[in-house]
Structure 1
Amino acid sequence: MNDKRCFILALVVGVCAVACGGEADESQQLRIYLPRDKTIASEVIELGQIAAILGDDSIVPLANEIRLGQFSVPGQEIIIDRKTVLSRLASSGIKASSVVFNGAEIIRVRRDEDIIAADRFVETARDYLREQLSDEQIKTLKLIRPVKDYPLDDESESVTLTALMSSRRGNRMKHVTVRVIRDGIELGRRELVFSVQYPCHRLVAKQSLPTGTQITPGNTIMEKYMSNT
């Protein structure tokens, strides 16, 4: 609601500026204000969803329904410029000479989506690793790279996260794939990499020993340390 009020206010200011400078050309029947960014709920982008439009009552309803694009994947951002708007208007019979723009040159449009927080992916992967490595005495699991949130295009449908060991294996790192599943179908995945450290012990000398000195409990001590091997 606040965005729409801002759009209309900007248009009113623009119209007043034209009025103060002289009468507008009769062919300028449509005034369009574009914000820099807009988030919408629907999958299909229509001009009326992202812009404020003033003009002849016979043209505005048609302009509002002009299709400018469609989201195809979660998290997608679509950039629309004035030329694209003019082209789509022209295809519906609205001439470029009858259009006056205010606002931004381009607009970035995003879809209002629910997300799976990155923390859920990390928690799922950690639990999986601890289960897989249950026979080993793990001390720490350190996430190597940050994980992004996963956008969902339909909040009404529940999803589950399942983890499996990635095909990428290493001695020092554990690679885990966390899959986003809905109704048995994989929607997407995140790859997580952990550094795994284990508590270890080693025998060290209490002080520097000459070469050939016999190792005994009296001149050595058992030391604890962490290792990823």
Structure 2
Amino acid sequence: MKRRTIILTIILSWAVAGPAAAVESGAGSGLRIHLPRRLTIENDVPTLGQVGVLLGEQRLLDQAEKVTLGRIAMPGQEITVSRAVILSRLAAAGLDASCVMFSGADSVRVSRPHRTVTGGDFVQFASAYLDSAPKAPGVRAFEPVAAPPDLVLAEPQSALTFTASAAKSPAANLAIVEIEVKQAAAVVDSRRVVFRARYNRRVVKATADIAAGEFITHDNVLVETVASDYPESADWVAPYGLAARRAIAAGSTVGLDILAPARPQAVIKRNQNVIIQIDRLGLLITATGRALQ
């Protein structure tokens, strides 16, 4: 009985200590790589030692951590390094891919520190400049046609200075503002923002149904000021006193193309001498007469 107890104790001791010893002995074999999802580095050529957390034999670590994984060509660019890319680069460096084990993300996005001035930022700077400058007569506001491209800078810590100025415009209803960007007192880039001018323009709206031949008055129309892409004519006047060529529905815009000057009405009194003219087929007959009514 005592002998069986000793044998059982030895077997149980091996069962507890055996796996732990196996893990410990295997901890130094192979190469383990843990990948984060996103990473920012200071240089433009990322290495495996920068991108991942490496564990394994020291000889493998010394060789693997120097393996390069591409190049960040410009500020703001982000490259994606996948597990397949890492295995390919390790194989090119002479390391056996079968001894590599991964954990963490399937790929890591790598970028450099940078600062981005968005197109919307440039629009705000240019709009503030136009708001502070005197507007041409009749100009109501300026609307940006489109936002310029973003500006990405490699040195995010340096202070930026923005200077706005008016640029030459190819059209009277367009305004162009140039934004110059300085970093550490040096001009690094510039952007142009194009605006479309919006003008105050008066339009006539029918407030009631207007019959053909009816005169335009304050009672049946209303003059409103609206925004327009083009300035108002300098000789614009309200069309009061003109007559409608056709029926105009309430709420419609009353333009000069559907109006005509009012015809003067002839006033003839009874027993007044008048001139009578008959014009038929090229024959004109003129005579004098007297109005009976």
- TM band (smaller chain): 0.5 to 0.7
Once residues 136 and 181 of structure 1 are traced to their aligned partners in structure 2, the CA distance between those partners, rounded to angstroms, is 34
What is aligned with 1:71? 72
Aligned with 2:209: secondary structure? coil
What is aligned with 1:123? 124
What is aligned with 1:35? 36
- Cα offset, 1:168, TM superposition: 11
Equivalent residue runs for 1:10-159 within 5 Å:
28-127=29-128, 129=130, 134-143=135-144, 150-159=151-160
Instruction: Select between 125-134 and 85-94 the one with higher mean Cα deviation.
Output: 125-134
Deviations 1:191-217 (A, max 9, x none): 756564332212334422222223345
What is aligned with 2:291? none
Query: Structure 1 vs Structure 2: percent identity of aligned residues?
Result: 29
What is aligned with 2:4? none
Aligned with 1:208: secondary structure? coil
Once residues 45 and 153 of structure 2 are traced to their aligned partners in structure 1, the CA distance between those partners, rounded to angstroms, is 16
Once residues 58 and 39 of structure 1 are traced to their aligned partners in structure 2, the CA distance between those partners, rounded to angstroms, is 27
Once residues 136 and 219 of structure 1 are traced to their aligned partners in structure 2, the CA distance between those partners, rounded to angstroms, is 30
Q: What RMSD in Å do the two structures reach over aligned CA positions? A: 4.1
Once residues 27 and 52 of structure 2 are traced to their aligned partners in structure 1, the CA distance between those partners, rounded to angstroms, is 22
- The alignment covers a number of residue pairs equal to 209
The residue type paired with residue 35 of structure 1 is P
The residue type paired with residue 110 of structure 2 is V
Aligned with 1:80: secondary structure? strand
Aligned with 1:43: secondary structure? coil
Once residues 73 and 148 of structure 1 are traced to their aligned partners in structure 2, the CA distance between those partners, rounded to angstroms, is 15
Once residues 28 and 220 of structure 2 are traced to their aligned partners in structure 1, the CA distance between those partners, rounded to angstroms, is 99
- Relative contact order, CA 8 A, sep 6+: which one is greater? 1
What is aligned with 2:200? 199
TM-aligned CA distance change 1:175 to 1:79, over 3 Å: farther
Does the Cα contact within 8 Å between 1:169 and 1:175 map onto a contact in 2? Answer: no
Please, what TM-score do these two structures have when normalized by structure 2?
Answer: 0.54
Deviations 1:163-193 (A, max 9, x none): 688999899987777565663453x75x756
Deviations 1:43-95 (A, max 9, x none): 22121222101112233243223221221122211011223212322343332
User: Structure 2: where are the runs of 5+ without partners?
Assistant: 1-18, 231-293
The residue type paired with residue 155 of structure 1 is P
TM-aligned CA distance change 1:166 to 1:159, over 3 Å: same
Instruction: Select between 30-39 and 207-216 the one with higher mean Cα deviation.
Output: 207-216
User: Structure 1: where are the runs of 5+ without partners?
Assistant: 1-18
Once residues 29 and 63 of structure 1 are traced to their aligned partners in structure 2, the CA distance between those partners, rounded to angstroms, is 11
Task: Work out which of the two has the higher radius of gyration on C-alpha atoms and give 1 or 2.
Answer: 2
The residue type paired with residue 205 of structure 2 is V
Deviations 1:83-129 (A, max 9, x none): 32123223433322332222222222222222225543122232455
Does the Cα contact within 8 Å between 2:29 and 2:57 map onto a contact in 1? Answer: no
Does the Cα contact within 8 Å between 1:43 and 1:111 map onto a contact in 2? Answer: yes
Please, what TM-score do these two structures have when normalized by structure 1?
Answer: 0.67
The residue type paired with residue 104 of structure 2 is G
Aligned with 1:67: secondary structure? coil
The residue type paired with residue 139 of structure 1 is R
Instruction: Select between 71-80 and 158-167 the one with higher mean Cα deviation.
Output: 158-167
Once residues 45 and 169 of structure 2 are traced to their aligned partners in structure 1, the CA distance between those partners, rounded to angstroms, is 38
The residue type paired with residue 106 of structure 2 is E
